[in-house]
Amino acid sequence: MAEEISESPNHPPPETPPSPPSEPEFDSKTMRKTKPGLKRLFLTFTVLVSFLLGFPFLFKSVEIYRSPLPFHDIDILSNDVVSNPFLFPFHFQAIFVPSDPKSSSIDVNLDELELSIRTKITKLASKGIGSQCGACTNNFTLSLTLDNGDCTQSLSKFYKCGSIRAADLDFSDDESVDEALESAGLDFGGKVYSVVVVVNGDGVEGVKVVVGKYRHAWIVGRDWRVEEVAERLAEIFVKVFVNGGREEGLIHGEFMPVGADGRIVLSFNLLNADPRDWIYDWDFQKIDETLLAPMIDTLGPIANISVESQVLYYTPKFSFSSWDEKLGGYILSTKDLPFFVNSNEWHLDTSIAAGGRSKILQFVVYVPSAKECPLLLQLPNGEISKTNAFISPMWGGVMVWNPQSCSRDSDSELLVKHIMSPEDLQKIFEVFAGQFRQLFGLKSGSLHVGALDTYGLLASEKGFTEWELDFLSRQHTCFNIHSSATTLGSLSKLVQSLPRMIIMDEIGKQVKFSLEAANLARSNASLGFYDASAVSSRQARSLAEDAFFHPSIMSVSYYSFEHCFAVYSPFFLPVSMHVLLAALREWRRYKQEKAKYLLWKAKEKAAS
């Protein structure tokens, strides 16, 4: 035992093994030891992305086709028409010739006379017209020529000295003078308005003023003063040649009897009030060929005119007439005219163009019954109308035609059809020609009352003189350009306010061509090409109207985006909400699981 005690100090005590490192405390609620997987998140977002990728296809399937429109060009045209009305150039010339160059001479200062005429033209042009389209303000040239042996001219480019010899003209025959001046070539082919002043004219008492069928007039007188001649020249230039002989100046565009498509349908109607008394018919084809064709060709640049006719029976009038023993007829006063047309019995609108945008002008020949024959129209002054006719603005005209004998044909059931004589037809269509002129705002008479004299106006066999056609072309151009600019401006505002409106390629082309025609009309007007500007402006208005009233626009004018959303949202909104919420929940879950994993990795790193 002692040995054991003695040997014990030589042996060290056994070593205790090292204890393993302690693991960090793990909380299963806030930590996780494995990295969260992306498979679930990937599948969820795949569904969301595929759903989102379907929206472009949906939008494409409900896309509205819109042809691009030149909105900027439309705004430029609208602003120019309102702020800068274009003015037609006018060229005036006055030619002074003595009645006999050997025995008389003209002593006049052309510079002073030109200044006086210019002042009076400007003064007359500014009355009630201002700077409106088609007015004559400062856009005119004036040249004076003194053809008195030694020819003296003031800026004249059109008159050839010696072309007119007053001694060769018979001023008692206006038609021959008019043709002689036309053959003299006063304008050299251009649109120049000329006035020939014949001083010391023999065979003329006082002063005689006549306006011809072309673009010239003449003044003949023995005694004249410079100021009076200047006044007459200014009146002829402005009130006759520029304003078309209208006292009030320009034609109001809304009263131009031309349809929006540039067409006019002349409907001629022969109405037999009571065919039991008599039946009348007419040879309208001959009328169309001989009387209407020249007038229609003349108005070709202004409107595309077509003609139709019909004969109606049993067409009584609405208004009542009373017998006047003194006048020997049944009297119809002007206050009863608004009730004359019987729209219930007069079936006039049978034209194929009645439902379109063409303008239909009705011309009615009313043959009264035997019980009210002769039927006479009494004017407000108590006199009987010479033409026995009246007009209705923007509708047409009516003429009451009384048969020569107001007794019935017979009491038999079989009546003989009477054909109107060529003489009666000539008189009837002379009245209709005057009514047609009045519907265009022109005078039907042959006189114009001026400040100093009464001017004679020669009538043209075509119904309209050349200076009247120039006037109508200018006014028609102004109205068409203003109308097309207004229509295109309204279309531009409508299209921009409704983004879901369908705009077909045809509409885009119509708008483009309308703008081109309007600009061409303005260019032609600035150059003085009246006919060409009227044709182009008519095309511009017609194309603008076609674009604005296109059927594709009218069918979906109010198909808005809100309507589209209301239609498709019940199908896609519930599904899209579930997919979107699922993706959000999965993203939030993934972020939470990843945060748990990162927390465990942080504690594990700190413990090591």
Q: What is the pLDDT of residue 519?
A: 92
Mean pLDDT of 222-239: 83
Binning the chain into helix, strand and coil, the percentages to the nearest 5 are 45, 20, 40
DSSP 209-270: EEE-SSSEEEEEESS--HHHHHHHHHHIIIIIIITTT-TT-SPPGGG----TTSEEEEEEEE
Check: CB of residue 266 under 8 Å from CB of residue 433.
Answer: no
Number of Cβ within 10 Å of residue 221's Cβ equals 21
pLDDT above 90 covers what percent of the chain?
13
Q: What is the pLDDT of residue 1?
A: 43
Is the pLDDT at 442 greater than 70, yes or no? yes
What's the pLDDT band for 255 if we cut at 50, 70, 90?
low
What's the rounded Cα separation, in Å, for the pair 338 and 318? 9
Q: What is the pLDDT of residue 6?
A: 45
What's the pLDDT band for 481 if we cut at 50, 70, 90?
very high
pLDDT per position as a tens digit, 335-391: 888 878 877 778 887 666 556 778 889 899 999 988 888 888 988 888 888 899 988
The four Cα atoms 463, 466, 468, 472 give a dihedral, to 10 degrees, of: 100
pLDDT per position as a tens digit, 1-31: 444 444 445 555 565 555 555 566 777 778 8
User: Which of 362, 371, 420 has the alpha carbon at shortest distance from 389?
Assistant: 362
Domain ranges of the chain: 2-11+19-62+560-607, 90-242, 263-439
343-to-317, 346, 350, 484 alpha-carbon distances in Å? 9, 5, 12, 33
Q: What is the pLDDT of residue 168?
A: 78
Q: What is the pLDDT of residue 543?
A: 94
Is the pLDDT at 262 greater than 80, yes or no? yes
Cis peptide bond upstream of 24, omega within 30: no
pLDDT per position as a tens digit, 301-336: 998 998 888 898 888 887 788 888 888 888 888 888
Is the pLDDT at 261 greater than 80, yes or no? yes
Query: 391 or 248: which carries more pLDDT confidence?
Result: 391
Is the pLDDT at 499 greater than 90, yes or no? no
426: DSSP letter: H
What's the rounded Cα separation, in Å, for the pair 380 and 377? 10
Mean pLDDT of 136-157: 75
Is the pLDDT at 410 greater than 90, yes or no? no
Q: What is the pLDDT of residue 520?
A: 94
Is the pLDDT at 541 greater than 90, yes or no? yes
Mean pLDDT of 52-76: 81
Mean pLDDT of all residues in the chain? Answer: 81
User: Which of 143, 175, 179, 140 has the alpha carbon at shortest distance from 161?
Assistant: 143
What's the pLDDT band for 260 if we cut at 50, 70, 90?
confident
Query: 513 or 501: which carries more pLDDT confidence?
Result: 513
What's the rounded Cα separation, in Å, for the pair 52 and 433? 72
Q: What is the pLDDT of residue 38?
A: 84
Q: What is the pLDDT of residue 607?
A: 78
